[in-house]
Structures are given as C-alpha cells and as structure tokens.
Amino acid sequence: MAARAALSPAATQEVVFLDLDDDLGTVRAKLESTGADQVYLVIPRRAPILRTPLEFRILARLTHELSSETIIVTGDGARRALARGEGLRTKRSVRSLRHLSRPPGSRGLWLPSFPDWIPMPSFAGIVLTLLVAGLAAAIALGVVPVMKVTVNAQTIPQQQDMEIIIDPTARQTDLSRRTIAGETLSQKVEIIASVPVSGAKKLGRDKAKGEVVFLSQNQQAVTIPRGTILVAISGAKFVTDLDVQVPPFSQAVAKVAVTAADAGVPGNVDVRQIARFESFNVPNVTPRNDRPTQGGSDREAKSVGAEDVTKLKEQLQNRAKDQALAELFARAGGDRSLIQQSLKLRTEGETIEPGVDAEAEQVTGRYAIVATATVFKNADYNSIIQQTFLAQAGNGFDLPISQLGIGTPEVVSVEDGRVRLKSRSQATLVKQVNSDTVAEAIRWKTSSEARSALAQVEGVAGNPRIELSPAWAPRAYRVEVSIAAPK
C-alpha cells in the first residue's frame, strides 16, 4: 500500500509501507507506481525480505534506474547498516516522518522530527520508564526512610522478705505454698588416721630372781613340777625354774630357784613375802623365800592414754565430716546449692588400736560414716521468687532475671531433710510495652509528632530516642522499635 504526503514546492515526497507478504517483485512494483522524488520505504521488522546485502544491492540499482531517492525506514539496526553500505539513506522509525503530515502553513502545535541517530523510546518503553520511576519514588519515600525508636519501659521497684521451703519429697514447684523440689544426696566416707601417743608409764625391763624353800607336813614326798606359779603377798607372781621333790615332814630342806612372771621392780619382794601357790593344790606344803628376790628393773615407755583416744576420735569425726561435705558439694555442682545445716552423719564403723595403757608410739583409728544433705536447684529458687513478685504485681509486667536481686538465704529450720529458707529480695518490675503498638502510633509521623504520640502510649516512660534516616526524609513508613532494658 502507499500513502502520499504533503508536497513542497520544490519536490514531492511519499511514504511506501511494505507488507509482510511482499517480495522484491512487489517492492519494484510499488516503487514504480509512485512518481515522488523522495520515497520513504518503511520495512516492518518481521518482513522476510531485505535482510541480505544482495537484496539491498538490487534495491539500490532499482532506485537508481527509477531516478528517485529511496530512504529506508526500519527499526532493525542490521538492515540500516546494510542499506547504508549500498549508499542508501536510513531512518530509525516512522516518527521521524511527522513533518510529512503537517499541513502547509499550519500554526498549531508541531512536534519536530529528530535526527535518525537519536534513540526514540517506544510506547512500551515509555510505560516501563514511568513504572520504574514510580517504583523508585515509592522506594525512596516508603522503603528507604526508616525511623529508629528506642523507648524506655516504666519500672516499679519492689522489696520483700520471702520464706521458701525446700522439700525433697516434692516433685515440682508449688507457687501457692512457695515450695520447690529438693533432693537428698548420700555419700559414704571412710577415714583412717593416726596420732602420736602422749602417755608414759614404767614397764618392766628385767625379771627378778630368787630362791624358795618348802615346808611340808605330809607323810609322803611331794613333787612340785617346773613352772608352778607362786604368789607373793604383794601379788607378784613367780615361776619355779625346775622340778623339785619335797620330802615328808621336811622344814626348808627342798629348795628351787624362781623367776618373776613379769619383768619389773614389783618382782623384787622382801624375805618371806612368797607365801602360797596360785593353783597347785598340795595340802600341808607351804612355799617361803628366806632371802629377798632381786634383779627386777623398770624402763620408761610410751603408752596410749585416754586423752589420745579422745583426740583421735575427734580428728576422725572432723575429717570425715569435712570430706563428706567436700564430696557432696562436688556432686551438687555449680547449678545446685547444698544446705550445710541439713548435713547428717551416721556412723557405720569405728576401730581404735591399740587400746588405752598399751605400749605404742601412736594410736590408729578407722572411722566410716554415711553423710546425707539436702540440695536444690538454684534456677528453681530464683524462679519461684521471680514468679512470686510477678504474681503480686498482676498482669502487664515482666521481671527479667537481671532485675532480680536475691539475698543470701538464711536457714530458718531443718526437719527430716525439709528445709525452710528465708531471704530478702529486691525486684525491678518492668511494664510490658508492645512494639507493634509503638510502631503504629508513630508511622508516617515526623520526629516531633512521634515524640508526642509516644507520650500517650501505655508503659512508655522517659524521653525516647528517635533517629530518622536518611536526613532528608521528613517521615517514614518503616519503623524499627527497640525496648531499652532497664539499668
């Protein structure tokens, strides 16, 4: 098809549009049918012809034969390059041909044409550009600016004395009774220790010796065997060294050497002190020493005293208690507390050797006990105090563990492992602040408006910190809220 443009006095111009089914023959026919001096040949981008150098060479020869100037109009850069290679002028788009449609002498609004080398946007490009610009504006106004707000929550200080029960029989914490579950730990300990003896006494060193005669009223001779025990009036005992035969009716005829049964000075007895047999039952025969016994001597020796035994027992008990506590504390670990006042010791066994008055350099004892004590979890103790404060404060408060100060527990009573503790505790209750509520209250507000709005939000106290960035933004849709922890 062909469309004729308005002509100038000097030359005629015409625009020829190719169809998608045109070939070089129909193109020739369309160019021959026009008598214009300048022909603008508009090639659709999807047209199958005029894509090769040969086709454009043929077209250039044709226009030369027709003695008319053909200007190629196409948005295809490759086609324009091929056309220029054959000496043909080119245009980028039909928009550059608007000057052909202005009526001669018109004074209305006229859109000037642009040089072909200037890229002209398409309608889709303009729409896309507008969308991108709108999106950029939305990002600049709604996404980029952000108001960062840090608010302080209201706080209420509290102080209270609380009694908490640690019950090993309880299974869980009971807030209403202020009872937490405890545990009874058991530990067996055995201690062996020795102490030097402090007692001293004289002990026999040498045995006394002497001679004994026998008086007999028997009608027959009597044989007294070796080892027969004789007893002095003082209680000292002597042993005959040999067998001896006592004739009938003899008076101090039969003699025998004797030796004291025990070493020491008590074996030195005076004349006629040895007077009887200990267990040898011979009627009418009596022993007698006509000379004193001699040679018995003593020595100084260490011996176990009663105070040594007492000292050793006390040492064993203390060491057993200390070791039991140390092992129980170790078993309790760092997350549990052991109540030392609940410690109970049960003796399992005790031996002390040697006994009192025995000669020895030291006395040794063994002491075995079973120790029990009550422990509880520190977290449970802290938690029940925290829950008690919160229960008394009512809804709408928090109590961070960092704001809870618990005094050192004092033992009030211990009964069958059940312990009652008392401590003075302080708490700083923190009013709950909803960050979403804060954000909604100040969204799209200026800094001064936001500050006024925050003064009306429940739970907010003090002067909030407001930062609006970037600095050019007067307000922001995005709001980041931080609740400052109380100090």
- CATH code of the domain containing 82: 3.30.750
Is 191 in the same domain as 245? no
Within a domain: residue 58? yes
State the chain's maximal CA–CA distance in angstroms.
Answer: 200
Is 248 in the same domain as 368? no
Q: Rounded to whole angstroms, how far apart are CA atoms 109 and 482?
A: 59
Q: 155: closest CA among 428, 412, 467?
A: 428
Is 231 in the same domain as 190? no
User: How would you classify the pairing of strands 13-17 and 38-42?
Assistant: parallel
Domains of the chain: total: 3
Within a domain: residue 329? yes
Helical H segments across 296-335, by residue range:
306-332
Is 294 in the same domain as 228? yes
Is 211 in the same domain as 286? yes
Q: Rounded to whole angstroms, how far apart are CA atoms 429 and 318?
A: 46
Domain boundary among 43, 76, 100: 100
Is 308 in the same domain as 191? yes
Q: Rounded to whole angstroms, how far apart are CA atoms 430 and 214?
A: 110
Domain extent at residue 246? 203-299
Within a domain: residue 381? no
Angle between the N-to-C axes of helices 435-442 and 447-454, in degrees from 0 to 180, rounded to the nearest 10: 140
pLDDT in single tens digits along all 487 residues of the chain: 333 344 455 578 888 889 988 888 888 888 888 878 888 999 998 889 998 998 899 888 888 888 778 999 998 989 999 999 888 999 888 777 766 654 444 443 344 444 444 455 555 666 776 776 666 655 555 567 999 999 999 999 999 999 999 999 999 999 999 999 999 999 999 999 999 988 888 888 999 999 999 999 988 999 999 999 999 999 999 999 999 999 999 998 899 999 999 999 999 999 999 999 998 888 889 999 999 999 999 998 888 888 989 999 999 999 999 999 999 999 999 999 999 999 999 999 999 999 888 888 899 999 999 999 999 999 999 999 999 999 998 898 999 988 999 989 999 999 988 999 999 999 999 999 999 999 999 999 999 999 999 988 988 988 899 999 988 888 888 999 999 878 7
Q: For residues 167-193, b (16+ Cβ closer than 10 Å) or e, as one string?
A: bbeeeebeeeebbbbbeebebebebeb
Residue 473 Cα to chain centre, angstroms: 44
What residue ranges in 144-284 does DSSP mark as E strands? Answer: 146-153, 155-167, 179-196, 199-206, 209-216, 222-224, 229-232, 237-240, 244-246, 251-260, 274-277
Neighbouring residues of 310: CB distance < 8 A, sequence distance ≥ 6: none
Within a domain: residue 429? no
Domain boundary among 299, 333, 363: 299
Q: What is the dihedral of CA 61, 63, 66, 68, to 10 degrees?
A: -150
Is 251 in the same domain as 218? yes
Domain boundary among 299, 323, 355: 299
Is 291 in the same domain as 214? yes
Within a domain: residue 392? no
Within a domain: residue 408? no
Q: 227: closest CA among 244, 248, 214?
A: 244
- Classified as helix, coil or strand, 308 is helix
Q: What is the pTM of this model?
A: 0.56
Is 272 in the same domain as 315? no
